[in-house]
């Protein structure tokens, strides 16, 4: 599965389907929400060439109205991904506040697999 499918399948219910690549569209108003950015994708190659699998380094930005909700959603996100995806490697977390939106944000970076097939 592509990383977009992996994330929506595993995290869509935590965010009421408010899961977006790169930016949240201005027309979307739901909270909380998740924005994901693929920072890097490293292909798995063998002597026969590209296997169709990539280890993806991804940033997940979780937005919520209050600090505790943001913290709980981040913890639930990490628990869901580490339970359902193997391998899953959690790299780091940043605690942020967005002045322009008035939202709390936690930004996590992690690794997961994606494939070009279903």
CA distance 111 to 78: 12
Write down the pTM of the prediction.
0.90
pLDDT tens per residue, range 4-40: 999 999 999 999 999 999 999 999 999 999 999 999 9
Max intra-chain CA distance, the chain: 51
């Amino acid at each position: 599965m592509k990383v977009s499918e992996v994330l929506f399948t595993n995290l869509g219910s935590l965010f009421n389907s408010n899961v977006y690549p790169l930016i949240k569209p201005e027309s979307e108003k739901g909270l909380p929400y998740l924005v994901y950015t693929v920072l890097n994708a490293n292909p798995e190659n063998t002597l026969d060439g590209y296997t169709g699998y990539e280890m993806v380094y991804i940033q997940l930005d979780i937005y919520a109205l209050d600090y505790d909700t943001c913290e709980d959603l981040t913890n639930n996100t990490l628990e869901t991904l580490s339970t359902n995806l193997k391998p899953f490697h959690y790299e780091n977390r940043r605690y942020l506040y967005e002045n322009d939106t008035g939202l709390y944000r936690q930004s996590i970076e992690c690794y997961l697999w994606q494939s070009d097939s279903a």
